């Protein structure tokens, strides 16, 4: 199957090419700004699907809208017609096509060219009227305000919000990709133009958008993860991280070190509690306390140890030997004094999960020897 992607150096085009390259049995061809209309016929010969993503969004002067949107589309249709192939043609139009601005008018003219070509039996047509698209490889101050905010926050630059109450509809690049890829394998009724949209649409005000993105750097200090249970925030956080400068990927943990070893908190969340990590020297015991509500999971991933329990109103001691050789999670029920001892001759590394974020004012931790 031969696929031609126009605008393959742009934000959506770059993402689409990565997805297409992973699939087997596709012959890929691209049309970029370097190609002249005279080259299109050769590039399009034998094509099965065209993803037409080339377009002009923010030109120096408004005439470029006509050149980059309808005229380019006419040239492509003409080349297809001359070749005599009847490909599926997926056009990435814009919700602006409903509006009366120059960009909108040029997008609508490109849509009409496709509609006519479908009626004349030149191609099969699929049109997406996309709202703002956000995701990795979008350009700041160009493709989307999400890219601008993410870039600025990731680079420590100020974020300018002119109208915080302005609401914008957004879709995420990977949802667009999933929808686009489906057109590789579908049947379209002859002469019928397909009008598509992206199912998952997010609506957010500029003020909310700025506030969420501005909270991301703080999460490294508070250790609180962004709200990844919220799909929009999850997508925004992924997009934000894609804008981090390459020398800013890492951040240090704050170690609490004493004669037992090290301990540091790693990740916290109101939804799932927190994760912390310890190293324990040979022969050393940690713990000897119980909780009323706080529950934990202990997971030794290096070294050897034993976790001991005693119900606080009983003398019976229970032992769970643990080893990094066979990582095993041990639940710590409430009402049991518990401890963990390094029984090996090397450092022991333990991962801990707790059901709540540690609160110095309400530790729910009571000293008691096992």
Ligand X SMILES: NC(=O)c1ccc[n+]([C@@H]2O[C@H](COP(=O)([O-])OP(=O)(O)OC[C@H]3O[C@@H](n4cnc5c(N)ncnc54)[C@H](OP(=O)(O)O)[C@@H]3O)[C@@H](O)[C@H]2O)c1
Across the beta sheet with 329-332, what order do the strands follow?
A: 256-258, 261-269, 273-280, 348-354, 296-302, 329-332
Report the nearest approach of ligand X to the CB of residue 50 (Å): 13
Among 12, 44, 123, 340, binds ligand X (CB under 6 A): 12
Contact region with ligand X (CB under 6 A), list: 3-11, 19-27, 310-318, 347-355: 3-11
Q: Does 133 bind ligand X (CB under 6 A)?
A: yes
CA-based nearest residue to 149, from 253, 141, 315, 15: 141
At 5 the three-state DSSP class reads strand
CA–CA distance, 319 with 336 (Å, rounded to integer) = 12
Q: Does 339 bind ligand X (CB under 6 A)?
A: no
Pick between residue 130 and residue 263 the one whose CB is nearest to ligand X.
130
Active site residue 103: yes
Pick between residue 70 and residue 87 the one whose CB is nearest to ligand X.
70
Among positions 37-66, residues that touch ligand X (CB under 6 A) are 53-57
CA 27, 28, 32: angle at the middle one, nearest 5?
Answer: 155
Pick between residue 133 and residue 340 the one whose CB is nearest to ligand X.
133
Among 49, 51, 68, 149, binds ligand X (CB under 6 A): 68
Which residues lie below 8 Å from residue 110, measured CB to CB, with a gap of 6+? 55, 69, 70, 72, 73, 91, 93
Interface mask toward ligand X for 92-131; x: CB under 6 A: x-x-----------------------------------x-
Q: What is the DSSP string of 162-195?
A: S-TT-EEEEEEHHHHHHHHHHTTS----TT--EE
Q: What is the DSSP string of 206-217?
A: HHHHHHHHHHTT
Report the nearest approach of ligand X to the CB of residue 100 (Å): 17
Catalytic residue among 40, 51, 103, 151: 103
Q: Does 10 bind ligand X (CB under 6 A)?
A: yes
Report the nearest approach of ligand X to the CB of residue 31 (Å): 6
Q: Does 9 bind ligand X (CB under 6 A)?
A: yes
Angle between helices 231-242 and 206-215 (to 10 degrees): 60
Among positions 245-264, residues that touch ligand X (CB under 6 A) are none
Q: Does 154 bind ligand X (CB under 6 A)?
A: no
Q: Does 239 bind ligand X (CB under 6 A)?
A: no
CA–CA distance, 34 with 54 (Å, rounded to integer) = 12
At 337 the three-state DSSP class reads strand
Report the nearest approach of ligand X to the CB of residue 150 (Å): 14
Contact set with ligand X (CB under 6 A): 6-7, 9-13, 31-33, 53-57, 68, 72, 92, 94, 130, 132-133, 143-144
Active centre residues (catalytic) = 103
């Amino acid at each position: 199957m031969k696929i031609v992607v126009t605008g393959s150096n742009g934000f959506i085009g770059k993402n689409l090419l990565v997805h297409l390259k992973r699939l087997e049995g596709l012959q890929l061809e691209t049309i970029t700004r370097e190609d002249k209309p005279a080259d299109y016929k050769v590039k399009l010969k034998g094509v099965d699907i065209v993803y037409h993503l080339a377009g002009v969004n923010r030109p120096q002067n408004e005439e470029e809208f006509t050149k980059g949107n309808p005229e380019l589309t006419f040239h492509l249709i003409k080349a297809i017609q001359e070749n005599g192939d009847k490909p599926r043609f997926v056009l990435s139009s814009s919700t602006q096509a409903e509006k009366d601005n120059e960009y909108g008018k040029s997008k609508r003219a490109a849509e009409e060219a496709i509609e006519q070509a479908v009626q004349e039996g030149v191609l099969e047509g699929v049109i997406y009227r996309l709202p703002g698209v956000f995701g990795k490889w979008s350009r700041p101050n160009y493709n989307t305000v999400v890219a601008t905010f993410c870039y600025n926050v990731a680079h420590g630059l100020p974020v300018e919000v002119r109208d915080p109450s302005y609401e914008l509809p957004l879709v995420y690049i990977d949802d667009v990709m999933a929808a686009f890829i489906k057109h590789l394998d579908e049947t379209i009724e002859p002469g019928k133009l397909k009008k598509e949209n992206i199912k998952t649409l997010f609506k957010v005000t500029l003020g909310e958008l700025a506030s969420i993105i501005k909270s991301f750097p703080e999460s490294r200090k508070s250790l609180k993860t962004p709200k990844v249970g919220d799909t929009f925030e999850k997508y925004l956080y992924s997009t934000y991280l894609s804008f981090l400068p390459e020398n800013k990927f890492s951040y240090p943990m704050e170690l609490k070190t004493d004669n037992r070893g090290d301990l540091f908190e790693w990740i916290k969340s109101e939804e799932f509690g927190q994760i912390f990590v310890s190293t324990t020297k040979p022969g050393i015991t940690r713990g000897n306390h119980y909780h009323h509500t706080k529950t934990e999971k202990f997971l030794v991933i290096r070294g050897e140890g034993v976790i001991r329990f005693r119900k606080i109103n009983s003398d019976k001691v229970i032992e769970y030997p643990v080893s990094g050789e066979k990582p095993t999670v041990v639940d710590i029920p409430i009402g049991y004094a518990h401890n963990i001892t390094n029984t090996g001759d090397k450092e022991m590394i333990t991962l801990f999960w707790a059901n709540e974020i540690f609160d110095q004012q309400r530790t729910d931790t009571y000293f008691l020897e096992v």
